[in-house]
Chain A
Amino acid sequence: MRKQLMKGNEAIVKSAILAGCRGFYGYPITPASEIAEAAALYMPKAGGVFVQAESEVAAINMLYGAASAGVRAMTASSGPGISLMQEGISYMAGAELPCVIADITRGGPGLGNIGSEQGDYHQVVKGGGHGNYRTIVLAPYSVQEMADLTALAFELADRYRNPVFVLADGFVGQMMEPVEFPQRAIEAPMPPWAVAGTTATRGNLITSLHMDCDDLEAHVLALQAKYKLAEQHEARAEQWCAEDAEIVLVGYGIVGRILKAVTAEARAGGLPVGVLRPITLFPFPIAHFQRLASRARVFVVVEMSNGQLLDDVRLALNGVRPVEFLSRVGGNVPSHDEVLQFVRKQALRFIGEERMAHV
């Protein structure tokens, strides 16, 4: 298979169209704008719709409309824009509308900066908007995964009738790597629940409004059952040198790449280090953590945010193993050396100076 060099942001759009996406509604923001630009170019060619909305608020509500009409559709934004979309995302989760949202993260809070940060974790993984809902969150760490996980996102969105995020940091969105695409485009069938302006769909209703308390409770419980199902079937993670690791490094997105490089060097130096990289952030790959916990002495969470991933790792381990934490924020990336030094320090603490003297 021949590969081509492409930006992560562009790969998202091409993969989306191949996966049957025929609508893009968005608003420019660094470092996600190339997604809107590529959609403006390719969506009409594929017979789809591109609209540059007047705001992220409008964009997410356009997505609500397109999804209601039964079309696979997506938007893309970054931190501040995702914050603005949260109301609409809550509505879509409530109305059980499938859609894909790419969040190419930047620094915060507030205007923050446009550097690569992972501070959107909480607002994306934990629901973000009002009400008892979850979104499914996929976290690519390479351009190839930007393509592959975008296609998966559309599949999961339809399967669970739920918004699905592709959460990538600015680096993964901006970088170019070789990528290959499926050579067949999918035609997404019209879902039976859509409101499409046809005789067959005239009786359909899209709403998140349930006036009766018992009705709303039943609806919320049905949503939770759906999320439970996703937890059972969709949790994904990549393990790298992890099976025999005594120190398990945990990180997603660009951090996952750094952790691999660090692990390669640490292993070369005899340190029993491995990587567990969550690919789905919701559902969180709890079983992977619990399995590795039997051998690992310590888990080291490395993230470009203030302990947001850390919370989930602690919950997953539920106190059975210590969790150490290394964080850089503000657009700074934990450097290879910085992580390696930190890992060596943990090795001394948790594996012991005696044994470490031999490596």
Chain B
Amino acid sequence: MSSEVVQEYAVAQGRAKSFYTRYERKDELQRQTHYCPGCGHGVVHKMLARAIDELGVQDRTILVGPVGCSVFTYYYFDVGNIQAAHGRAPAVATAMKRSRPESIVISYQGDGDLSAIGTAEILHAANRGENISVIFVNNAIYSMTGGQAAPTTLIGQKSTTTPEGRRAATEGYPLHVSELLATLEAPVYIERVALGDNKQIAQATRAIRRAVENQARGLGFSLVEVLSPCPTIWKMNPVEAQHWVRDVMEKTFPLGVFRDHTREAAPRPAPPPAPALDEIPRLLGVAEQDLPANHGRALARDKQIDLQVRIAGFGGQGVLLIGEVLAEAGLDAGLEVSWLPSYGPEMRSGTSNCHVRLSSQPVDSPLVAVPSVLVAMNEPSLRKFDLTVRRGGWVIYNGDAFPADCMREGVHVLALPFTRLADELGDPRVSNMVMLGALLEIDGVLPQASVDAALRRLVKNPRWIALDERALARGRELFKESLRQEGAEAMGGGMK
């Protein structure tokens, strides 16, 4: 036994490296935090800073600070700092983590921020299983704004907006965020801890470290809810406030682990490597060498073309598709084109129509107010647009009997039961293509090769292509037949 012992003292607990030693972003009192004496935030900050230090992730850490008393986290933490809008830190953190997967993103939020205005953001970040760590400081009150009720305010607890104490009948019950989020499948770790005494503080320290560590291991979403004192607003001294956390608050918000999948959770796979820059045009389908060669370059120079088409019907009748085929064929033939849909909710029963222009000049307006051809799939569509057709123009109508009151001087009509004719081809759904075939024959400007090419670009199923081609051919025949008939029947061409 030695009688002479020299003692050497080493720092066992001191300021974490992840804190600034002087708070230079603060306007005054740069050696003290802005928190009130006895506030739980400082204690939680120290736990978080210690976890960052211990895990060696200071350079990689991004701290997203909310609106609330902890709005100034960036005064203190010597890490990358983001100040976020009220309640939105989980959304901000989501994109930061996804953008920089190597970073450690921590969302630090109070109970007003997270459990009131930010409920949607925290719920969905948790449900997506974002690989972030959320520190949720719950002091059952809005402190920064001066003591208004929070969703977490206890039954009977007085606040400036519950002056008689919170009543379940009018303000509902304290929101149990940890329990709520633990009903989701994605989170890997959810624990509620408290700052009510030394033991609780030791447990909170471990929990916060785990939340950060889980992220560093790539496991997924972690949240630690910390019951934390607010002596100022609670109107207690710091020691009373601490005891209130343990003796009162904890009864409403029981401590414990609500989710721990950290053993079974597998680290998330790294995102696949980004493609080389010069591959990107091809990946987007815009690489010039992949675009089809056109068929009709000479066409536009030969003839002045200005085809203005309105195609109308009900949703599901292929109105937009034949418009696209027409425009695509026009482009293939070297024309200037535009296609403009009437758009609506994606429902089958609504009306649907599109404007198509094919022109040898640049298209000024893509809106076809006065069509040279109207394709009407049914009577309501006909009645909607028949008065707009220009003199000398055409109406292609799906129906046996063209309504007499829609007959107009100087407008040609091709009215046939296209649906039945399509049915004879094998499928009533290709009636649109039969009508397009007739339309193509009216103007006769588009080369067959362009129409074929357009069809192949827009229709992927080979069975449909074959059927559509038969339908287009049938439409062309029908138009020619009708001209012959009309020629035989009456003088003056097809004019009605």
| Residues on A facing B (Cβ under 8 Å) | 1-5, 14, 17-18, 22-23, 25, 30-31, 42, 45-49, 51, 53-55, 57-59, 61-66, 68-71, 73, 87-88, 91, 95, 114, 170-171, 174-178, 180-187, 195-199, 201-209, 211-212, 254, 257-258, 260-261, 264, 333, 335-337
With A185-B277, A257-B364 as contacts: A202 and B85 at CB distance below 8 Å: no
With A254-B367, A257-B366 as contacts: A211 and B27 at CB distance below 8 Å: yes
Chain A residues with CB below 8 A from B128, complex form:
51
With A5-B339, A25-B95 as contacts: A205 and B81 at CB distance below 8 Å: yes
Q: Give Cα A135–Cα B449 distance, bound, in whole angstroms.
A: 48
For A190, the closest partner residue in chain B by CB is B100
B302 within 8 A of A: no
Q: What is the interface residue range for chain B against chain A? A: 35 or more
**Which B residues, 79 to 98, have Cβ-Cβ distances below 8 Å to chain A?**
79-85, 88, 91-96, 98
17 A–B contacts, CB within 8 A, in A order = A1-B288, A2-B291, A3-B291, A18-B280, A30-B345, A45-B275, A58-B91, A61-B88, A64-B91, A68-B82, A181-B284, A195-B96, A202-B79, A208-B83, A254-B365, A257-B367, A335-B367
With A197-B80, A205-B74 as contacts: A63 and B95 at CB distance below 8 Å: yes
User: How far, in Å, is B490 (CB) from chain A's closest CB?
Assistant: 33
User: How far, in Å, is A256 (CB) from chain B's closest CB?
Assistant: 9
Which of B71, B121, B293 counts the most A-chain CB atoms under 10 A from its CB?
B121
Q: Give Cα A167–Cα B105 distance, bound, in whole angstroms.
A: 33
The answer to whether A183 and B281 touch across the interface, beta carbons within 8 angstroms, is yes
B344 within 8 A of A: yes
B14 within 8 A of A: no
The answer to whether B365 and A197 touch across the interface, beta carbons within 8 angstroms, is no
Which of A53, A186, A212 counts the most B-chain CB atoms under 10 A from its CB?
A53
**Which B residues, 329 to 351, have Cβ-Cβ distances below 8 Å to chain A?**
331, 336-341, 343-345
For B121, the closest partner residue in chain A by CB is A58
The answer to whether A46 and B274 touch across the interface, beta carbons within 8 angstroms, is yes
For B130, the closest partner residue in chain A by CB is A51
B230 within 8 A of A: no
B462 within 8 A of A: no
| Residues on B facing A (Cβ under 8 Å) | 25, 27, 58-62, 64, 71, 74, 78-85, 88, 91-96, 98-100, 102-105, 120-121, 123-124, 128, 271-275, 277-278, 280-281, 283-288, 291-294, 324, 327-328, 331, 336-341, 343-345, 363-367, 369-370
Q: Give Cα A333–Cα B366 distance, bound, in whole angstroms.
A: 12
Which of A3, A58, A178, A337 counts the most B-chain CB atoms under 10 A from its CB?
A58
The answer to whether A171 and B288 touch across the interface, beta carbons within 8 angstroms, is no
With A42-B283, A58-B91, A209-B71 as contacts: A196 and B100 at CB distance below 8 Å: yes
Chain B residues with CB below 8 A from A261, complex form:
364-365
User: How far, in Å, is A186 (CB) from chain B's closest CB?
Assistant: 8
Chain A residues with CB below 8 A from B103, complex form:
69, 196-198
For B293, the closest partner residue in chain A by CB is A2
Top 8 nearest A-B pairs (CB, nearest first) are: A197-B103, A47-B274, A65-B95, A207-B83, A65-B92, A61-B88, A195-B80, A61-B91
User: How far, in Å, is A55 (CB) from chain B's closest CB?
Assistant: 6
Q: Give Cα A88–Cα B62 distance, bound, in whole angstroms.
A: 19
The answer to whether A335 and B369 touch across the interface, beta carbons within 8 angstroms, is yes
With A175-B339, A258-B367 as contacts: A64 and B85 at CB distance below 8 Å: yes
Chain B residues with CB below 8 A from A18, complex form:
280-281, 284, 286
The answer to whether A64 and B343 touch across the interface, beta carbons within 8 angstroms, is no
User: How far, in Å, is B447 (CB) from chain A's closest CB?
Assistant: 17
Further 11 A-B residue pairs, CB within 8 A, beyond A61-B121, A62-B94, A254-B367: A2-B294, A4-B331, A5-B328, A47-B273, A61-B85, A66-B95, A66-B96, A175-B338, A205-B83, A261-B364, A336-B367
For A209, the closest partner residue in chain B by CB is B83
With A62-B95, A175-B366 as contacts: A185 and B339 at CB distance below 8 Å: no
The answer to whether A51 and B341 touch across the interface, beta carbons within 8 angstroms, is no
Choose among A178, A183, A195, A211 the residue that contacts B287 (Cβ–Cβ < 8 A).
Answer: A183
Q: Give Cα A14–Cα B84 distance, bound, in whole angstroms.
A: 30
With A65-B82, A195-B80 as contacts: A58 and B328 at CB distance below 8 Å: no
The answer to whether B124 and A333 touch across the interface, beta carbons within 8 angstroms, is no
The answer to whether B82 and A49 touch across the interface, beta carbons within 8 angstroms, is no
